[in-house]
Amino acid sequence: MSVIEIEALEKSYRVYQKKEGLWASVRGLFHREYRDVRAVRGIDLQVEAGEFVAFLGPNGAGKTTTLKLLSGVINPTSGKARVLGFVPWNRDNDYRRRFALVMGQKNQLWWDLPAQESFRLHQQIYRIETKQFQDTLDELTDLLAVRDLLGQPVRELSLGERMKMELCAALLHSPEVLFLDEPTIGLDVVAQHNIQRFLRYYQEERKTTILLTSHYMKDIAALCKRVVIMADGEIKYDDSLAGIVDRFSSHKIVTVLLNDGTQAEKLRDYGEVLSVEAPRVRLRIERERISATLSLILDRFLLDDVAVEDPPLEDVIADFFTQVSNKGSDDASDPFPTEVQA
């Protein structure tokens, strides 16, 4: 059953174009110039109950705007959407009690008060029965290891601790749908890992439908099987995480361990050299040339080992974003060419 249904959803903004200079500012008081920005361009999407879906895309791709539309924070320019059978921008109270939105760069907790005070307020807002509230709070604070921090003012907490409290606040009413916008932004590796573990466990236990935006590929790889890639307000890819490399990567990484390290320089004729640490050489070779190139290398060199790998997911996504950004540009060259370590 589809929990989220989107059809031809679009959102445009009129943005004031302020010009530089005093006289231009004065003229702007009487005659303003605007341009239309299409943040979301007629997207279609369906998400089934219990899915954990990742939204990927460069800054300005339309990911956060889509989550705001689905949570009813903003109204669309056109199109349709239903979440749990509700039209989000109608802002029905029944709908508000069945979803939650967590934005990594926005706070929903009172800054100068302990988190437990904000949690009590949430209890009243969502009309959570006392026993249910306490049981849920106990479970969440134990899973996130923040029970000892409940009485501490939010402003005194670390960034990772604050994000854990934000998750507690969002999940107190046991939402059926959870929208997460960059929940691990700015966190250190340990804090990111802890948030990932919690979200994976919680989603598996509760079967909550979750839409996640993140620029950290480790978040995506750890949590999501399905990935939706947005660029320029449009959905460019909607399929499995594993399929991204096959779809968007044009090359593989070949690591060669030579028997004779003095032969390392000769491998430059067989692919783009990523690094040389004789007798180990890493090459970037186009996918369609892998078999033929490996046969030539095996025929002409004595090898102690050879490994063929897909490029890192981060590189594949970055290459795709670059292609989208450079589409229609006169100069689509990479300003940062690969450095060769000799």
- Contact yes or no for 66/55 (Cβ under 8 A): yes
- Residue 139, classed as helix, strand or coil, is helix
What pLDDT does 144 receive? 94
Query: Does residue 111 carry a pLDDT above 70?
Result: yes
Domain locations in the chain?
Answer: 2-12+41-245, 250-309
Cα separation, 295 vs 310, in Å, equals 19
What pLDDT does 18 receive? 76
In the chain, the percentage of residues whose pLDDT exceeds 90 is 63
Query: Does residue 339 carry a pLDDT above 60?
Result: no
Distance of CA 232 to the CA centre of its chain: 15
- Contact yes or no for 268/275 (Cβ under 8 A): no
* Token digits of residue 316: 């594949």
Query: Does residue 331 carry a pLDDT above 50?
Result: no
Cα separation, 327 vs 122, in Å, equals 46
> Which residues touch 143 (CB under 8 Å, ≥6 apart)?
198, 201, 202
- Taking CA atoms, 271 is separated from 143, 221, 245, 254, 275, in Å, by 49, 29, 19, 9, 11
- Contact yes or no for 315/336 (Cβ under 8 A): no
- Contact yes or no for 212/56 (Cβ under 8 A): no
Average pLDDT of the segment spanning 174-182: 95
For domain 250-309, give its CATH number from 2.40.50, 1.20.1300, 3.30.70, 3.40.50: 3.30.70
- Contact yes or no for 282/251 (Cβ under 8 A): no
Q: How confident is the model at residue 17 (pLDDT cuts 50, 70, 90)?
A: confident
Query: Does residue 43 carry a pLDDT above 60?
Result: yes
Going across the sheet that includes 34-48, the strands are 34-48, 2-16, 78-83
Average pLDDT of the segment spanning 237-246: 86
What pLDDT does 52 receive? 95
Query: Does residue 130 carry a pLDDT above 70?
Result: yes
Cα separation, 339 vs 337, in Å, equals 6
For domain 2-12+41-245, give its CATH number from 3.40.50.300, 3.30.450.40, 2.60.40.1760, 1.10.3720.10: 3.40.50.300
* Token digits of residue 309: 């790998």
The pTM for the full model equals 0.82
- The pLDDT tens digits for 252-298 are 999 999 998 888 888 989 999 999 998 999 999 998 999 999 999 99
Look at residues 200, 226, 243, 239 and name the one whose alpha carbon lies nearest to residue 53.
226
